Structure 1
Amino acid sequence: MSSSGSLTATPTAGIATKPYPFWLGGVAASIAASITHPLDLTKVRLQTSGDKGMIQSLRKTIRNNGTRGLFDGLTGTLLRQMTYSMTRFAAYDWAKAEVHKGSGPPPAYKMALAGSMAGGIAGIVGTPFETLMVRMQADKAKPIEQRYNYRNSVQGFFRMTSEEGISSWIRGLGPNTFRSILMNMSQLASYDLFKRELIHTKVLEDGPVLHFFASLGAVTVCSPADVIKSRIMTAHGKGTSSTMGVIKQSFANEGAMFMFKGWVPAWTRLQPTTILIFLTLEQLKKGVDAYRAAGGKLL
């Protein structure tokens, strides 16, 4: 990240004056998500099925569908990253510029506000594709008669719309947007804030240890909304998709701890994903700098 604190929008000094392409964050997130996809797949299946643990769920997936089964729903994940993640990175830089007009770095509360704004916008934009991704990931863990059997993300999105109408685009909108606000407030703002403050005070240098603690808090805060969101999006039939209906049924059947199902793979995935996203983003920015320095005009 540049010294200005921008995640995507401020070029390296001396290379170019125009902002980086807004889609760099989506590309970086897509690369990271492709690598950690098996863990995200396992998280969703733990949240929506009767699997009891991460290792058991991973073994079950490999036993039933082979190693390739660990990448079920990958096209849905990529579509989601190039909508939701691309939006959140672009919106975060915009939001920071809007909430902080003064000189010097923005205070923590403004960074958190900018992260929340970006999360809200991205949650709304990304909800249809989040629904599609969750369904594709959870599908083969469900009984055959309850599966959606989408062939890929494009065909799946077409079927979802044609079979369930436009209303399917906002299924789980509330918990998904709430989760997105919490996630982006903690992940994006903490990346900015922790890097700036911990390096400034010489308590901790930027690296895996810093992201370890950032991801630990983020995934715990977001877990309840994440579980509810996954269950609403994969539910079949009328009367089974309301937020309160899902909460009441899950609480009655499993107790309060249902809200933290899938916590281990979610945290295990979030830590390397956070690191991979920002490391990849920095390399993409360097690539754009090199391209511009060589005289390139398209980026």
Structure 2
Amino acid sequence: MSSRKIQTFRKRISTENHFKRFWYGGLASMAACLVTHPLDLAKVRLQTAAKPGQSLIGMLYHIVTKDGITKIYSGLTASLLRQATYSTTRFGVYEYLKELYINKTHNTKPSTVVLLPMSMVAGALGGLVGNPSDVVNIRMQNDSTLPSNQRRNYKNAFDGIYRICKNENVSSLFRGLSPNLVRGVLMTASQVVTYDIAKTFLIDKIHMDPSKKSTHFSASLIAGLVATTVCSPADVVKTRIMNSKGSGQSAISILVNAVKHEGIGFLFRGWLPSFIRLGPHTIVTFLVLEQLRKFKLGM
């Protein structure tokens, strides 16, 4: 067999292997979702509250005492569907673009300047694919806070999508798409790129073992801090739009109106619960992801 045919064969095998692990990011994020969903629920409730000031613990206590312990997992099916769509896409596209770059440059490790646009493309595509499930997710999580005559009472994520299409229109599934795309770009750029950079720094500069969970934990903790801070404004605006009854307000008008009446702190409302949720979510995601890579599940 000629060297050219061997090279083509190796590239084909590499591509096939990549698509076999395309879903690693989605599976890892779904596992993290099972751990952090109650915190995500409390975060959404805090972001949509008419009056700021309630703590994360206070919100969780309120949910449990008013609605029951099982309600801390309200909207879980939508959260899982969101991770299955949004995270599978953004992680998969990001890893694919990285591998494509490495193959094209003969194993040259991509720099931050290269990783950032890759992550932005991956995040935007993830935000687009995951938007319908995100709309249902936020509505299901916030449903019990509405007056009984305004509640949607979706049975699960698929029922929510079906009823939105039936009772509203398909375009309602893409409500809040603009801030969601922005958030997807910011989240992926700040989370996965920060993780890659932090992991490289810990290995190269501090000489931590690349195979140890402590290395993965430290890098993911840094990524969680950066991602929470960068994404907070877009996340708050996105939540407000998706939970609305269709007032027709744009993301900019909602942002300006909220800052005017609630102050600049509105942009970072729920930062602590966001980090308490996103921090563990990021850590669990990357720990599971690294284990999937280690054992080459499905390869």
After TM superposition, the score normalised by the length of structure 1 is 0.86
The equivalent of 1:280 in structure 2 is: 288
The equivalent of 2:194 in structure 1 is: 190
Q: Aligned to 2:17, what secondary structure does the other structure show? A: coil
1:149 to 150, 153, 165: 153
The equivalent of 1:89 in structure 2 is: 91
Shifted more, 205-214 versus 133-142: the winner is 205-214
- Cα 1:49–1:144 change in 2 (3 A) is farther
The equivalent of 1:263 in structure 2 is: 271
The alpha carbon displacement at 1:257 in A equals 0.8
**How far, CA to CA, are the matches of 2:273 and 2:168 in structure 1?**
31
Counterpart contact for 1:111–1:193, Cα < 8 Å: no
The alpha carbon displacement at 1:98 in A equals 4.5
**How far, CA to CA, are the matches of 1:24 and 1:161 in structure 2?**
30
Write the mapping of 1:127-276 to structure 2, written as runs, cut at 5 A: 127-202=131-206, 206-239=215-248, 241-276=249-284
Counterpart contact for 1:146–1:236, Cα < 8 Å: no
**How far, CA to CA, are the matches of 1:179 and 1:167 in structure 2?**
19
Answering whether residue 84 of structure 2 is matched by residue 106 of structure 1, we say no
The equivalent of 2:17 in structure 1 is: 18
**How far, CA to CA, are the matches of 1:41 and 1:65 in structure 2?**
13
Q: Deviations over 1:261-296 (max 9, x none)?
A: 11111101111111111111233344545x7xxxxx
Q: Aligned to 1:105, what secondary structure does the other structure show? A: coil
Counterpart contact for 1:39–1:268, Cα < 8 Å: yes
Shifted more, 270-279 versus 248-257: the winner is 248-257
Q: Deviations over 1:172-221 (max 9, x none)?
A: 00000101101100111111121112211117662433333321121011
**How far, CA to CA, are the matches of 1:154 and 1:140 in structure 2?**
19
Structure 2, gaps ≥5 residues long = 1-15, 210-214
Measured on the aligned residues, the alpha-carbon RMSD in Å equals: 2.0
Counterpart contact for 1:30–1:78, Cα < 8 Å: yes
The amino acid across from 1:90 in the alignment is G
Counterpart contact for 2:45–2:141, Cα < 8 Å: yes
The amino acid across from 2:229 in the alignment is T
**How far, CA to CA, are the matches of 1:200 and 1:224 in structure 2?**
33
Counterpart contact for 2:220–2:286, Cα < 8 Å: no
Answering whether residue 46 of structure 2 is matched by residue 37 of structure 1, we say no
The amino acid across from 2:178 in the alignment is G
The amino acid across from 2:57 in the alignment is I
Q: Aligned to 1:150, what secondary structure does the other structure show? A: coil
The equivalent of 1:56 in structure 2 is: 58
Quick check: which one's helix share is greater? 2
**How far, CA to CA, are the matches of 1:116 and 1:180 in structure 2?**
8
Shifted more, 44-53 versus 187-196: the winner is 44-53
**How far, CA to CA, are the matches of 2:62 and 2:132 in structure 1?**
28
Q: Deviations over 1:32-77 (max 9, x none)?
A: 1111100111111111113622111111100111111110000000
Q: Aligned to 1:104, what secondary structure does the other structure show? A: coil
**How far, CA to CA, are the matches of 2:220 and 2:291 in structure 1?**
18
Q: Aligned to 1:18, what secondary structure does the other structure show? A: helix
**How far, CA to CA, are the matches of 1:66 and 1:59 in structure 2?**
10
Structure 1, gaps ≥5 residues long = 1-16, 292-298
The alpha carbon displacement at 1:124 in A equals 0.9
Q: Aligned to 1:40, what secondary structure does the other structure show? A: helix
Size of the alignment, in residue pairs?
275
The alpha carbon displacement at 1:88 in A equals 0.8
The equivalent of 2:82 in structure 1 is: 80
